[in-house]
Amino acid sequence: METVKIGKKGQVTIPRRVLEAAGLPAESQVIVESEADGSIRLRPAAVYPIELYSDDRIAEFERENRLPDALKKRVGSARIRRTKNK
């Protein structure tokens, strides 16, 4: 157990040994929660990057995913053949 001081801005420096024991690497994102008994809990946060797509970017995806007419015809023919064989 180690004692740390709360700074004027409410900041606390957690000793490296404690972070390593908890498996938290430097500059980790954590979730801070206060418990009913007055304790404070730190948990690793899962941070996932997200991208918000503009209408233009969505249209670009749609263009790239579009099947060429020759391939559409082949797929359609294959579907008809499979339907007849069932």
Tens place of pLDDT per residue across the chain (86 aa): 889 999 999 999 999 999 999 999 888 899 999 999 999 998 999 878 899 999 999 999 999 999 888 898 898 888 888 888 77
| Helical segments of 1-86, H only | 16-22, 55-65, 69-85
Residues in the chain: 86
Residue 53: per-residue pLDDT: 94
Cβ contact 41:35 at 8 Å: yes
Residue 63: per-residue pLDDT: 92
- Sorted by sequence, the CB contacts under 8 Å of residue 3 that are 6+ apart come out as none
pTM (2 d.p.)? 0.47
Q: How far apart are the C-alpha atoms of 75 and 15, rounded to whole Å?
A: 62
Residue 7: per-residue pLDDT: 94
Q: How far apart are the C-alpha atoms of 70 and 9, rounded to whole Å?
A: 67
